[in-house]
Amino acid sequence: MKNVSLTLLAFVALLLIYPLAPLEGHAILLAAAPALNETIHGTAVQVKLRFNARIDGRRSRLMLVFPGGGEHLLAANQPSPEILTSAVSGLVPGSYTLRWQVLAEDGHITRGELPFRAQ
């Protein structure tokens, strides 16, 4: 009985000394440019994705899918821990899809797609 009491006391002390970190799941996309189904006017667009958690930019990917189905891996920049950016030029009129895959600091991979149009 004494060992159980000591173990319980040690556990309670640990909870008081070591604050519990918030449990975060996958990185959730909070804001995007271009926005979902947005129409872009012109031949260039600045891509900016903001997430609710820190992401590993080196292990994250941005892929542009062209109107004909071809794909191009975009060079991704990370100006802050929760943001990925890229510059896209040479757009022709048509429907595009921005595919993204990010690795959150907690080790979870999240993927998504953002369709948009260029005019």
Q: Is the alpha carbon torsion for 8, 12, 17, 19 positive or negative?
A: positive
pLDDT above 80 for 14: no
If phi > 0 it is left, if psi is from -120 to 50 it is alpha, else beta; for residue 83 that is beta
Which pLDDT tens digit goes with each residue over 26-55?
899 999 999 999 999 999 999 999 999 999
Q: CA 69 to CA 34: how far, in whole Å?
A: 19
What's the predicted TM-score (pTM) here? 0.77
Looking at residue 75, its pLDDT comes to 97
- Cα separation, 63 vs 93, in Å, equals 18
At residue 19, the pLDDT reads 42
How would residue 23 be classed by pLDDT, with cut points 50, 70 and 90? very low
Strand partners for 101: 61, 111
User: How do residues 61-112 score in pLDDT, each as one tens digit?
Assistant: 999 999 999 999 999 999 999 999 999 999 999 999 999 999 998 899 999 9
pLDDT for the residue 18: 42
Helix/strand/coil for 2: helix
